[in-house]
Amino acid sequence: MQKKRGYDAFSTTLLVSPYQNHEKLKELSNELGKKYNIEFLYRDFRVGFRDGQAKARELGLYMQKYCGCIFSEEERYTQKK
């Protein structure tokens, strides 16, 4: 999709989270990049994660406790505490 729209690379917002497996994300994204002939642009944005959370709290923004996908929502409600 990005290539058709004229972009020369793609990335993901998942790279901001310290809870994501960056090595796996890089591996899968590089495979997709090769498959679709578009570069995967990796940047480690985790360094700003806590500052971003603090700013969001300061501004009174909503912050959900899970990523939003159906799998994490299910996990959120079924995990034993």
Average pLDDT, integer, range 65-79:
77
Question: Quick one: average pLDDT of 20-48?
Answer: 95
pLDDT score, position 74: 82
How much of the chain exceeds pLDDT 90, in percent? Answer: 60
Kindly report which listed range (26-30, 39-43, 65-69) carries the lowest average pLDDT score: 65-69
Q: Is pLDDT at 80 greater than 70 in this prediction?
A: no
3-state SS, the chain, equals CCCCCCCCEECCHHHHCCCCCHHHHHHHHHHHHHHHCCEECCCCCHHHHHHHHHHHHHHCCCCCCCCCCHHHHHHHHHCCC
Q: Is the pLDDT of residue 22 over 70?
A: yes
